[in-house]
Amino acid sequence: MAKQIILIIFDCLRPDTANNPALMPFLNDLKKEYMSFDAHSIASATNFSMSGMFTGTVPLEIENTWHITEKKEPVYLPKKLNKFYTQYITSNVVTCRKFGFDKGFDYFEDFLKERPQVGANRQKLTRFAAFMGNKLRKTIFYNSARKAYFYLQEFLGNNPNLNLGLKIRFKSVNDAFFNSLKKIPAGKDSFTALHFIDSHTPYLSYKIKDKNIIKEAKRLTKELYGDKGDDGEFKTFSEKDITFLKERYDEEAKDTDEQLKEMVDKLKQLNKWDETLLIITADHGEAFGETGYMKHPLGEVSNLNHIRVPFIIAGGLAKDLDIKKANNGLIWNKDIYDIILGVADGQKQIQLKENDFVRGVRKKNTVFYIHALYDPVKKEIINPVPPA
Ligand SMILES: [Zn+2]
């Protein structure tokens, strides 16, 4: 039977949520039956994190961008898996084609056609940002224009961060996945990456019908994306508001778990489980005011809730797999790259390398502070200081 490697990325899934059997019972059953690790993401934002998982490198290690460029193609996962049928199905429209993660896959789906207006507006904003140039990004003009843009999109109902109805749900990704399985040539090994946005803001379970809860969720979502709440700037939320948001987040996690169970049950029914390696992780975590921050702001990893991620390896192919941690005992989500290539190659024992991120990415005058860095001297994860 053909090998099937599946990488599931839950956007913004905290490990304490993932580890809670009351919230995610199925995921915890998988953990018990197979293996799991306490892992960290290399960054607190999707594009950097995905770039790490898809190239096995820290963004900036190869060049000063997290985009998949020609330079990175030799290490780009779908290119390395050239004997495999490869596919990427993602409900995170923001962090796929814009950063080149759509390249090289035999099948790619990001549901953009279901949201043409969002796509068009994003392209406009990207062009506008390029026109403004990075040096102008911190000016009042840029910030005012950005604010005006978000107000306009909100008014038009086009902002996916604010319009709860625009979120592409688990079911859409799942349906696309099972349809795509039919396209894989018989006997061919396959690699599938599935990216689920359900636990990302705006948090509101599709099951919630209570008008007051919906109204309050909308109000707080706007607060989270207001000019002070975005991009990691400090914004104070009351304990009551944080509790409300956390409850909505937990409901999303519960829904996700139910649907994950359905997915695995279906894989088992299709007799694909024995030849499956299922890796489940998150691109990063999420903060709920622990150190004053909410969401997972760029440039701020002092709150480790942003970068702690669940990491579970399940499926028939996980049964006799031996993952040897690096000497420092840390596991990063970018190590997934080595695990996938190892299993694709038929290895039963995979030794993870020690990642010395400080040496790899510290460059003068380079924006490198978006990464979580491991300091091999202090033997701890540090919050890097932005270059002066
Ligand atoms: Zn993300």
- Kindly give the distance from the C-alpha atom of residue 198 to the centroid of ligand 1, in angstroms, as a whole number: 11
- Kindly give the distance from the C-alpha atom of residue 11 to the centroid of ligand 1, in angstroms, as a whole number: 5
| H/E segment holding residue 108 | strand 107-109
Q: What is the pLDDT of residues 242-261, one digit of tens each?
A: 999 999 999 999 999 999 99
- Kindly give the distance from the C-alpha atom of residue 270 to the centroid of ligand 1, in angstroms, as a whole number: 30
- Kindly give the distance from the C-alpha atom of residue 9 to the centroid of ligand 1, in angstroms, as a whole number: 9
CA 353, 31, 92, 76 dihedral sign is positive
pLDDT at residue 371, rounded to an integer: 55
134 pLDDT above the threshold of 60: no
Radius of gyration in angstroms for the set of CA atoms belonging to the chain, rounded to a whole number:
20
Res. 151 pLDDT band, cuts 50 70 90: low
pLDDT at residue 28, rounded to an integer: 98
Phi, psi (deg, nearest 5) at residue 122: -65, -40
- Kindly give the distance from the C-alpha atom of residue 283 to the centroid of ligand 1, in angstroms, as a whole number: 5
Res. 330 pLDDT band, cuts 50 70 90: confident
Taking all residues of the chain, what is their mean pLDDT, rounded to a whole number? Answer: 83
Q: Mean per-residue pLDDT for 127-136?
A: 60
- Kindly give the distance from the C-alpha atom of residue 282 to the centroid of ligand 1, in angstroms, as a whole number: 8
Res. 385 pLDDT band, cuts 50 70 90: very low
Q: What is the pLDDT of residues 97-110, one digit of tens each?
A: 878 999 999 999 99
Q: Mean per-residue pLDDT for 233-245?
A: 83
- Kindly give the distance from the C-alpha atom of residue 46 to the centroid of ligand 1, in angstroms, as a whole number: 4
pLDDT at residue 343, rounded to an integer: 97
- Kindly give the distance from the C-alpha atom of residue 41 to the centroid of ligand 1, in angstroms, as a whole number: 11
> How far is the C-alpha of 219 from the C-alpha of 264, rounded, in Å?
36
304 pLDDT above the threshold of 70: no
User: Which range scores top for mean pLDDT: 18-22, 40-44, 120-124?
Assistant: 18-22
378 pLDDT above the threshold of 90: no
- Kindly give the distance from the C-alpha atom of residue 348 to the centroid of ligand 1, in angstroms, as a whole number: 31
* Predicted model pTM: 0.86
333 pLDDT above the threshold of 50: yes
- Kindly give the distance from the C-alpha atom of residue 53 to the centroid of ligand 1, in angstroms, as a whole number: 13
- Kindly give the distance from the C-alpha atom of residue 238 to the centroid of ligand 1, in angstroms, as a whole number: 24
DSSP of 67-93: S--GGGGGG-HHHHTTTSEEEEEES-S
pLDDT at residue 137, rounded to an integer: 56
Instruction: Name the region of 334 (left: φ>0; alpha: ψ -120 to 50; beta: rest).
Output: alpha
- Kindly give the distance from the C-alpha atom of residue 294 to the centroid of ligand 1, in angstroms, as a whole number: 13
153 pLDDT above the threshold of 70: no
> How far is the C-alpha of 263 from the C-alpha of 280, rounded, in Å?
13
Higher pLDDT, 261 or 117: 261
| H/E segment holding residue 37 | strand 35-40
265 pLDDT above the threshold of 90: yes
| Look-up of token digits 């694909």 | 272
- Kindly give the distance from the C-alpha atom of residue 45 to the centroid of ligand 1, in angstroms, as a whole number: 5
- Kindly give the distance from the C-alpha atom of residue 5 to the centroid of ligand 1, in angstroms, as a whole number: 21
Res. 92 pLDDT band, cuts 50 70 90: confident
Res. 306 pLDDT band, cuts 50 70 90: confident
- Kindly give the distance from the C-alpha atom of residue 119 to the centroid of ligand 1, in angstroms, as a whole number: 18
- Kindly give the distance from the C-alpha atom of residue 18 to the centroid of ligand 1, in angstroms, as a whole number: 16
Q: 361: how many CB neighbours lie within 10 A of its CB?
A: 21
pLDDT at residue 349, rounded to an integer: 97
pLDDT at residue 363, rounded to an integer: 44
145 pLDDT above the threshold of 80: no
- Kindly give the distance from the C-alpha atom of residue 188 to the centroid of ligand 1, in angstroms, as a whole number: 31
- Kindly give the distance from the C-alpha atom of residue 299 to the centroid of ligand 1, in angstroms, as a whole number: 14
Neighbours of ion ligand 1 (CB under 5 A): 11, 46, 283
Q: Mean per-residue pLDDT for 78-104?
A: 90
- Kindly give the distance from the C-alpha atom of residue 1 to the centroid of ligand 1, in angstroms, as a whole number: 34
Instruction: Burial-class residue 347 by CB neighbours within 10 Å (0-12, 13-18, 19+).
Output: middle
- Kindly give the distance from the C-alpha atom of residue 273 to the centroid of ligand 1, in angstroms, as a whole number: 28
pLDDT at residue 228, rounded to an integer: 47
Query: What are the structural domains of the chain?
Result: 4-115+160-382 (3.40.720.10)
